[in-house]
Amino acid sequence: MIAKLQCVVLDCADVDELSRFYQSLLGGVVNQPDPRWSLGDDWATLHTDDGLVLAFQRVEDHRPPRWADPDRPQQFHLDLRVEDLDQAQADVLDLGATVLDEDDTGRSWRVFADPAGHPFCLVRH
């Protein structure tokens, strides 16, 4: 093993909005003091209860990825395990997510974008 994952960093235009979105989705503490990062207007963190750390970095002129567009590919995505896909979908849409893939018939996952346009999947447990 060469390294351990420290955190996942998402570029965005508004670090406060995106950190609060993921806090509502995953729980945890936004901008918990941590000597590994300095916090400020251009950087925020989310420490989840299960130890995952997401970081949010403000990028000037952020261009979100576009689903299924090779000129602006997804760059990364998160798979998030859920018990009830229908309820989880309603919850993330209420938080500001958007549906990226309407074809949800018979699949165990659904594809969404967070408020900054990053794709993520809800996957039935």
Is the pTM higher than 0.85?
Answer: no
In a domain, 66, yes or no: no
Q: Who's near 15: CB < 8 A, 6+ residues apart?
A: 41, 42, 43, 44, 56, 57, 58
Q: CATH number of the domain that 52 lies in?
A: 3.10.180.10
With respect to residue 96, please indicate whether it lies within any of the assigned structural domains: yes
Chain segment 35-81, per-residue pLDDT in tens: 888 888 999 999 999 999 999 999 999 989 888 888 888 777 788 98
pLDDT at residue number 26: 96
Tally of domains within the chain: 2
Give the range of the structural domain holding residue 48, as residue numbers without chain letter: 8-58
- Torsion angle, CA of 4/7/11/13, rounded to 10 degrees? -170
Same-domain pairing of 84 and 54: no
